[in-house]
């Protein structure tokens, strides 16, 4: 037990700091000023008694939110792949410093890690839910979870940039960085306006965003419930699978040939651009696609299109640079 004099001095110090309005201090119940804070995520209320300080991140999607809010120092551990092509040199260096538990992914891009490995990191927040791990199981261990909206069990009603803005505001609220969140949202809005202002006049073109399942001989397509749809719309393209009320689904080459997009964007999380494009070309009939015959195929890292995060603005700019005016 600590000496009574030490306890008295500590209590006096805490009182003085509180009187000075130090927002990072906690009150006598261990709850930070302005907390508890409750947010809704995937239809579940998640409560925080203080801003998270030891965050485990299970995929690269939330990184740009944290970078925009200057919160990368809160990351204590990570798992999955965090391609440096997503980030500025400063962000990439910050991610590199975070201890990695595993980088292994399944063929369809899912992270394979056990719940025990995550709990052993003693996180006060988990961002993302790896395959086979539930929010309820982590909650039972006292660990809150936040998931990107499009990865929630029920998905989102309609993807769009508002999802990105709302999620930025959510992180701002959770980490007590609301002013920074407002500034970040304003910057994102300006970037979209700049892309739209730079679009050339052109005939309407069709496009498809696909995921080649390497080694399986099939391909996934992104429909109306994916961020690919508003992304293509902003660029003046019509998503050939925009009439399908799903986020991603397996499609056949026959269906792809029937819709025959002028432009194809291939998403991936692993492998070289040449390997990803070859995965499409290896499918029987792919050489008959207009986009293949005219060389209008682009390979892009997954998070530049999905899920809705600030990275989709980078992806938007990349696609515009690749195809508009070509």
Residue 18 has pLDDT above 60, yes or no: no
Could you tell me if residue 232 is left (phi over 0), alpha (psi between -120 and 50 degrees) or otherwise beta?
alpha
Specify the 3-state DSSP secondary structure of 285: coil
Residue 21 has pLDDT above 70, yes or no: no
Mean local confidence (pLDDT), 181-188: 98
CA distance 242 to 279: 23
**What pLDDT is stored for residue 176 in this prediction?**
97
Residue pLDDT, tens place only, 193-224 = 999 998 887 778 999 999 998 878 889 999 99
Percent of the chain with pLDDT over 70: 89
Residue pLDDT, tens place only, 73-105 = 999 999 998 989 999 999 999 999 999 999 887
Select from 238, 235, 247 the least CA-distant residue to 316.
Answer: 235
Mean local confidence (pLDDT), 165-172: 98
**What pLDDT is stored for residue 108 in this prediction?**
63
Residue 326 has pLDDT above 60, yes or no: no
Residue pLDDT, tens place only, 258-317 = 999 999 999 998 889 999 999 999 999 999 999 999 999 999 999 999 989 999 999 999
Which domains are delineated in the chain? 28-189 (3.40.50.1980), 202-323 (3.40.50.1980)
Residue pLDDT, tens place only, 220-253 = 999 999 999 999 999 999 999 999 999 999 999 9
**What pLDDT is stored for residue 109 in this prediction?**
67
CA distance 106 to 213: 11
Q: Which structure tokens are listed for 172?
A: 């701002």
Mean local confidence (pLDDT), 20-26: 37
**What pLDDT is stored for residue 27 in this prediction?**
40
**What pLDDT is stored for residue 262 in this prediction?**
97
């Amino acid at each position: 037990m600590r000496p009574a004099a030490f306890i008295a001095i500590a209590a006096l110090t805490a009182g003085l700091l509180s009187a000075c309005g130090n927002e990072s201090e906690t009150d006598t119940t261990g709850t930070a000023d302005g907390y508890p804070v409750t947010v809704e995520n995937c239809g579940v209320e998640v409560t925080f008694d203080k801003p998270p300080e030891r965050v485990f991140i299970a995929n690269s999607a939330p990184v740009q939110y944290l970078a925009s809010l200057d919160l990368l120092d809160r990351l204590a551990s990570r798992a999955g792949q965090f391609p440096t092509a997503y980030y500025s040199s400063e962000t990439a260096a910050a991610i590199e410093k975070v201890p990695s538990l595993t980088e292994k992914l399944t063929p369809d891009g899912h992270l394979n890690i056990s719940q025990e490995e995550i709990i052993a990191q003693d996180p006060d927040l988990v961002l993302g839910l790896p395959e086979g791990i539930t929010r309820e199981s982590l909650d039972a261990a006292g660990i809150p979870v936040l998931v990107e909206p499009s990865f929630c069990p029920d998905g989102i009603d309609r993807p769009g940039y508002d999802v990105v803005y709302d999620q930025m505001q959510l992180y701002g609220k959770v980490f007590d960085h609301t002013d920074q969140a407002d500034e970040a949202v304003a910057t994102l809005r300006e970037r979209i306006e700049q892309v739209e202002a730079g679009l050339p006049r052109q005939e309407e073109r069709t496009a498809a965003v696909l995921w080649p399942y390497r080694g399986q001989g099939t391909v996934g397509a992104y429909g109306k419930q994916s961020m690919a749809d508003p992304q293509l719309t902003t660029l003046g393209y019509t998503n050939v699978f925009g009439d399908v009320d799903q986020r991603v689904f397996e499609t056949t080459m026959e269906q792809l040939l029937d819709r025959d997009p002028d432009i194809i964007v291939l998403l991936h999380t692993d492998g070289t651009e040449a390997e990803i494009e070859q995965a499409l070309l290896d499918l029987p009939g792919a050489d008959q696609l207009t986009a293949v015959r005219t060389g209008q195929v682009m390979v892009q890292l997954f998070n530049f299109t999905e899920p809705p995060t600030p990275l989709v603005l980078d992806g938007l700019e990349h696609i515009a640079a690749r195809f508009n005016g070509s």
